[in-house]
Chains A and B, each alone.
Chain A
Amino acid sequence: MTRTSVYTAIAALVMYCQFASGAENLEASKTVVEKFHANLLEVMTKADSLGFSGRVDALDPVLAETFDFHTIARIVTGKHWKTLDDDQRAEFIDVFEALSAATYASNFDGFSGEVFETLGAEEKRGNILVKTVIVREDDDPVTLDYVLRDNDGMWRIVNVIANGVSDLSLKRADYTAVIKSEGFNSLVTKLSGKITGYKISN
């Protein structure tokens, strides 16, 4: 075997491995999103028997498993993240995680024939975009695109884009506006107030 053909063979092997691991990452990401959707669907179908707090309890573990809350917290607090100490960061992540569970528990509070479909996955700038749609019987479909990031070999959700509106960008604008005008403690108080609001209205 000539030196050139050895190099060619190695290059081909490297490319194959990259391709294979790329495809593996896409599959892993789709699995994460589908797992989250399966849990949401289960909570929706059992919504009444679970009640609001039951739905929160059912969603908490799957959110912790499928979302990268550390990265999300860093992004939604923008440049202010650097100014927070470890306790403040941990406090923010806790309240944000609880708010996410309360939001999903409040919005997915029943089942009327919704179908979650995964349309595909693609690698984008080092992250993975999983495209999905919720098909509703009596309403327009909602497109939900998930952005997943590699977190120590585990692909986790860092953003949800509903009909083109990025949840992360909305929260980043909203939260940084509050930190800027009223400070970090006020942000945490307001987010806790939102969780209470969900409890009261459900």
Chain B
Amino acid sequence: MPHKKRITCLAALIVVLGLVSGCASTPNGDPGDPYEATNRKIYNFNDSIDRNFMQPVARGYVNVTPKPVRSGVTNFFDNVGYLNVIANDLLQGKATQFLSDTGRFLVNSTIGLGGMFDPAKEMGLRAHDEDLGQTFGVWGAGEGAYLNIPLAGPSSFRDAPGFVAATLLNPLTYLNPIVTLPLGVVNAVNIRANLLEATNIRDQAALDPYTFVREAYRQQREFRIYDGNPPGDGFDDYLEGEDDSAILRIY
């Protein structure tokens, strides 16, 4: 699918999701998740595809691919998507990080053989994690309603447009689909493989996996928006007293 069409579809999907979910809102549930009923259905749909298809493929990939090769694959896709990080450095006004990330991209794209290796790290140019959703967060936007996107997973009204921005800023988007489609498949399998440890923890620990994933997602996003120093976890509604609040809102 050409990228413009793909983006239009995604935008339409998000709008439709909002409309459909509006009918299925749960007034007594989590205030940040007004579309929980629909989100749960999408979660279950994604989960069944994941368990029946993506997880077995990812495990197979891990079994047959040596760790250094998988690291190379991860490095390649991180690097090719790094323009998105650089653009968001700029949008967030992080000048030093912008320069460092630009240097990192140039070094890894050249000396790092198209991004497969990470010599920039040895040079002190460490990787950063920025995207449009984080930029909106830095600008003061709230999370908006929590969303589960079919085939993509957890997101929110604040974070979902970031998918579009990341696609537009990824050079692979502009190549012939004969190249991008197989690369997209490898990327998806590799991303899933990198998440196996996290989903194992979810499977072992979670009583209600949907709630578990939602809270983990929210906290991770908050952690990233504040670059590792979030002011709190926004659980004030649940708290019994200041004593609990101080423990949960530790940063």
Digit string of A58-86 for contact with B (CB within 8 Å is 1, else 0)? 00000000000001001100110110000
How far apart are A62's CB and chain B's nearest CB, in angstroms? 20
Q: Which of A4-12, A24-32, A109-117, A161-169 contacts B (4 or more CB under 8 A)?
A: A161-169
B4 at the interface (CB under 8 A from A): no
B240 touches A168 (CB 8 A): no
Contact of A75 among B67, B201, B212, B248 (CB under 8 A): B248
B205 at the interface (CB under 8 A from A): yes
A194 at the interface (CB under 8 A from B): yes
How far apart are A178's CB and chain B's nearest CB, in angstroms? 5
Closest to B246 in A: A125
A33 at the interface (CB under 8 A from B): no
Q: How far is the CA of A50 from the CA of B34 in the complex (A)?
A: 48
If A79-B238, A169-B219, A170-B216 touch, whether A159 touches B247 (CB-CB below 8 Å) is yes
Q: Inside 8 A of A82's CB, which chain B residues have their CB?
A: 240
How far apart are A183's CB and chain B's nearest CB, in angstroms? 13
Query: In which size bucket is the chain B interface?
Result: 20 to 34
B52 at the interface (CB under 8 A from A): no
A118 at the interface (CB under 8 A from B): no
Q: How far is the CA of A103 from the CA of B67 in the complex (A)?
A: 26
B128 at the interface (CB under 8 A from A): no
Digit string of A75-111 for contact with B (CB within 8 Å is 1, else 0)? 1001101100000000000000000000100110000
A173 touches B215 (CB 8 A): yes
Closest to B240 in A: A79
How far apart are B242's CB and chain A's nearest CB, in angstroms? 9
How far apart are A51's CB and chain B's nearest CB, in angstroms? 18
How far apart are B1's CB and chain A's nearest CB, in angstroms? 33
B204 touches A103 (CB 8 A): yes
Digit string of A173-194 for contact with B (CB within 8 Å is 1, else 0)? 1111110000000010011001
If A165-B219, A166-B233, A170-B215 touch, whether A158 touches B207 (CB-CB below 8 Å) is no
A169 touches B224 (CB 8 A): no
B235 at the interface (CB under 8 A from A): yes
Query: In which size bucket is the chain A interface?
Result: 35 or more
If A177-B211, A194-B205 touch, whether A126 touches B235 (CB-CB below 8 Å) is no
Q: Inside 8 A of B248's CB, which chain A residues have their CB?
A: 75, 159, 166, 168-169, 172
A191 touches B207 (CB 8 A): yes
If A125-B246, A174-B212 touch, whether A169 touches B220 (CB-CB below 8 Å) is no
If A125-B249, A125-B250, A147-B250 touch, whether A172 touches B207 (CB-CB below 8 Å) is no
A54 at the interface (CB under 8 A from B): no
Q: Inside 8 A of A79's CB, which chain B residues have their CB?
A: 238, 240
How far apart are A67's CB and chain B's nearest CB, in angstroms? 13
Q: Inside 8 A of A145's CB, which chain B residues have their CB?
A: 250
How far apart are A109's CB and chain B's nearest CB, in angstroms? 12
B→A interface (CB under 8 Å): 67, 201, 204-208, 211-212, 214-216, 219-220, 222-224, 228, 230, 233, 235, 238, 240, 244, 246-251
A→B interface (CB under 8 Å): 71, 74-75, 78-79, 81-82, 103, 106-107, 124-127, 129, 138, 143, 145, 147, 149, 158-159, 161, 163-166, 168-170, 172-178, 187, 190-191, 194, 197-198, 201
A169-B235, A194-B204 given; 4 more Cβ-contact pairs under 8 Å: A75-B240, A165-B223, A173-B211, A174-B215
Contact sample, A vs B, 28 pairs, CB 8 Å cutoff: A75-B248, A103-B205, A124-B246, A124-B251, A125-B246, A125-B249, A127-B246, A129-B251, A147-B250, A158-B247, A161-B250, A163-B223, A164-B224, A168-B247, A169-B219, A170-B215, A170-B216, A172-B238, A172-B248, A173-B211, A173-B212, A173-B214, A174-B205, A174-B212, A177-B207, A177-B208, A178-B207, A191-B207
